Amino acid sequence: MRLTVNGTSRSYDGDPAQPLLWYLRDELALTGTKFGCGIAACGACTVHVDGQAIQSCVTPMSAIAGKHVTTIEGLSVAGDHPVQKAWADANVPQCGYCQSGQMMAAAALLKQTPKPTEADIDRAMSLVICRCGTYTRIREAIVAAAGGR
């Protein structure tokens, strides 16, 4: 099968049941996508597949055939996606481990809903746990990335 990862076309002939997460981390060395639970309960592994935010830890490679995958490494060339800029301005990260997933979830949200309400933010972002507790800053950064309120 073939797939595209961060704009590069790839072929894959390994175990079709292997989750995308481990393909990205172990085979492509794209370790910006994190492992936090493995059961779609924490969002650390969130990436975009054809523009949609999905949990890569429960998405088998067989479901990715022919699709476009974007990881945090491919969100922007220079780290200047509006979400990354807003994250920097609000100094969101603490340890940083959850933040790839947070930013990928936020970027997908803003793409679909450029002016999200509080409820939209809650819905999209409650999938992604931050144990360091950066939620208030994430909310602030999303509002800023959406061009303020």
Partner 1 sequence: MTTPHDLERREFLKRLAAGGLVIAVGASGVRRLEAMPAFFAAGDPFQPSVHLHIGEDGLVTIVCHRSEMGQGVRTALCMVMGDELEADWTTIRLEQAIGDPKYGSQNTDGSSSIRGTEYPRLRLAGAAARTMLEQAAAAEWGVPATDVAARNGAVVHVASGRSLPFGQLVSRARLFPVPAAPKLKDASQFRFIGKEVAGLDLHDILTGRAVFGQDAKMPGMKVAVILHPPVYGASVATVDASAALKVKGVERVITLATTPIPSGFQPLGGVAVVASSTWAALQGRRALKVTWTASPNDAHDSVAYRAALQASSRAPGRLVRKQGDVAAALSSAAKKVTAEYYAPHLAQAPMEPPAAVALVTGDTCVCWACTQDPQSARNEVAAALKVPKENVTCHVTLLGGAFGRKSKPDYVVEAALLSREMKAPVKVVWTREDDLQNGFPHTVAFQHLEGSLDATGKVTAWLHRVASPSINTTFAPGVTDLSDGELALGILDLPYAIPNVQAESCKAAAHTRIGWFRSVSNVPHAFAISSFVDELAHAAGRDPRDFILELLGPDRIVDMTKVGAVKPVDNYGDTWEAHPLDTARYRKVVELVTMEAGWGKKLPKGEGLGLAVHRSFLTYVAVVVHAKVGANGEIAIPRVDIAMDCGFVVHPERVRSQAEGAVIMGLSNAMTSELSFKRGRVVQSNFNDYRVLRMSAAPRALHVHLAPSGGLPGGVGEPGVPPVAPALANAIYAATGKRHRSLPLGKA
Instruction: Give the footprint of partner 1 on this chain (CB under 8 A).
Output: 15, 18-19, 22, 25-27, 29-39, 41-42, 44, 71-73, 79, 84, 87-88, 91, 93-100, 103, 118, 121-123, 125-139
How many Cα atoms occupy the beta-carbon half-sphere of 121 within 13 Å?
18
Q: Among 1, 40, 143, 144, which residue sits at the site for ligand FES (rule: CB under 6 A)? A: 40
Q: Is 29 helix (H, G, I), strand (E, B) or coil?
A: coil
Q: Among 4, 10, 28, 35, which residue sits at the site for ligand FES (rule: CB under 6 A)? A: 35
**Owner of token pair 């936090």:** 36
How many Cα atoms occupy the beta-carbon half-sphere of 116 within 13 Å?
25
* Residue 41: how many other CB atoms lie within 10 Å: 13
Given the complex with partner 1, which of 94 and 113 has the nearer CB atom?
94
Nearest approach, Cβ of residue 87 and ligand FES (Å): 11
Residue 38 touching ligand FES (CB under 6 A) = yes
**Measured between alpha carbons, how far is 25 from 47 in angstroms, rounded to an integer?**
12
